[in-house]
Structure 1
Amino acid sequence: MEFLELPKRTSGNRTYGLTSIIDLGTPTEDLKNILNDYHHIIDTAKIGFGSACVTPNLKKKIDLYKEYHIKPYCGGTLFEKCYYQKKIPEYLTSLRDLGIECIEISNGTLNIPMQERLNIISQIKKDFHVIAEVGSKDSNQEMPISEWKDEMKLLLEAGCDYVITEGRDSGTAGIYEKDGNIRSNLISELIKDIDSKKIIFEAPTPKHQMYFIKEIGANVNLGNVKLTDVLVLEAQRRGLRSETFYLEDRECKLPL
């Protein structure tokens, strides 16, 4: 229905306006059917937490994502598990063997010192696209806003393609309160000092997604999106749901 005037979306090999899904175990044949229809509105796919270790036909799944021009990567929890067991070299070899070109560096479970994370990034950024996550998975742990900003800036300056704001697949930690409410003061402060095109906001529910669309614009980067929600999200981005009904090009804060 091209006669409607809708907010413009980035397309093709997007560098912002990203939809990053979380794969929580979708069977490969089911995934193929989903991607056949919706691959054009999916940019990256995270094999959730450490589930890549127990995912059947993992290589087949990775190849399927790549066939549809979607960049697959493993959740940061797997990186932390490998770090904890001093198996990072083996992990990197495994990613190469699988044909995965992106890696997530996080400290959501472990408290990995910033300098240690920066050292790892400097060693691997020539071989991988690096995404770094900021924030803890512990809902009782609340970082000061200044610390969020400092970590993001350091990680981006170190060569990360993007930084991810921790939110978990439940939306109850990191940038969210225990009850799922968004720490809106934190978000507004972050986007004052950090280029929002370089931030992927974990937003696991349509409610969370609508907040970021209305706050930042149709082309905000969103992560931890469930496969079943990708069409809903795209409709929201285009002002085709009641909550984003009045979204217009002039209201999109991310210029095209």
Structure 2
Amino acid sequence: MEYLEIPKRTSGNRTYGLTSIIDLGTPIGDLKNILTDYHHLIDIAKIGIGSAYVTPNLKKKVDLYKGFDIKPYCGGTLFEKCYYQNKIPEYLSSLCDLGIEWIEVSNGTLNIPLQERLKIISQIKKDFHVMAEVGSKDSNQEMPISKWKGEIKLFLDAGCEYVITEGRDSGTSGIYEKNGDVKCDLISQLVEGIDSKKIIFEAPTPKHQMYFIKEIGANVNLGNVKLTDVLILEAQRCGLRSETFYLEDHECKLPL
């Protein structure tokens, strides 16, 4: 069914226009049914917070994602827990055993010094595809825009394939106000001089997703997407929802 003029979407093994979902305990049977229909709309799967450590049949879940050409990784909270307990070598070994090739380096809960994170990235980038996260889960902690931009650039220069902007699964911190509103000035300045194709904006609700689609374009990278919202998100990207109805290929207010 192809008769409408809609924004052209990236497809296949995408490098941008990514949809990164958050898995907070979806049973394997349910997950298999969902992926059978919607796997082509999903690029990355985060096994959220530190839940990978207590997920039953984790290896089967990882293999299921990989079987559908989706890249699984563990939430940054697990990385931070391992850092806090001096268990990073054990963590890396467990990822290898599981066949997980992507890793998130974050400091959303712990205040891990920037230079320490850069050092870790330099040590692991030869063995893993690295994503770094910028921003805090503490809604009371404000970061200057210059620091946001500086860290993103440093992480990309250090070899990270993508940088994730913190938004939590609730959309109430990091790039969002406590009430869930997007920090619009922050976003507009973040993409000045930075390739937004390398940024994954955490956008846990359709309202957040619509903002980024309208401001950056149909092929913006979005993270923390709920599995149940994957099809809705794709419809939004294609201008098939009222709020994105007039979206066209050339409409892109911010540089992509």
Task: Place the TM-score, normalised by the shorter chain, in its bin.
Answer: over 0.9
Structure 2 SS opposite 1:83? helix
Structure 2 SS opposite 1:163? strand
Give unpaired runs (5+ residues) of structure 1: none
How big is the shift at 1:252? 4.0
1:231-250 to structure 2, matched below 5 A, reads 231-250=231-250
How big is the shift at 1:194? 1.1
Distance in structure 1 (CA, Å) of the matches to 2:79 and 2:123: 15
Give unpaired runs (5+ residues) of structure 2: none
Q: Which residue matches 1:57?
A: 57
Contact 2:6 2:238 in 1 (8 A): yes
How big is the shift at 1:254? 8.4
Q: Which residue matches 1:199?
A: 199
Distance in structure 2 (CA, Å) of the matches to 1:208 and 1:253: 16
Distance in structure 2 (CA, Å) of the matches to 1:102 and 1:255: 27
Structure 2 SS opposite 1:45? strand
Distance in structure 2 (CA, Å) of the matches to 1:118 and 1:48: 23
TM (norm. structure 2) is: 0.98
Distance in structure 2 (CA, Å) of the matches to 1:59 and 1:66: 10
Distance in structure 2 (CA, Å) of the matches to 1:59 and 1:128: 18
Contact 2:132 2:164 in 1 (8 A): yes
Q: Deviations over 1:44-103 (max 9, x none)?
A: 000001000111110000000000000000000000000000000000000000000000
Q: Which residue matches 1:172?
A: 172
How big is the shift at 1:255? 8.9
Contact 1:197 1:254 in 2 (8 A): no
Distance in structure 2 (CA, Å) of the matches to 1:254 and 1:204: 21
1:194-233 to structure 2, matched below 5 A, reads 194-233=194-233
1:71-110 to structure 2, matched below 5 A, reads 71-110=71-110
Which amino acid is the alignment partner of residue 69 of structure 1? D
Distance in structure 1 (CA, Å) of the matches to 2:124 and 2:181: 36
How big is the shift at 1:249? 1.0
Contact 1:219 1:254 in 2 (8 A): no
Distance in structure 1 (CA, Å) of the matches to 2:154 and 2:113: 12
Count how many residue pairs are aligned between Structure 1 and Structure 2: 256
How big is the shift at 1:250? 1.4
Distance in structure 2 (CA, Å) of the matches to 1:102 and 1:154: 19
Alignment of 1:117 onto 2:117: yes
Distance in structure 2 (CA, Å) of the matches to 1:29 and 1:46: 18
How big is the shift at 1:195? 0.6
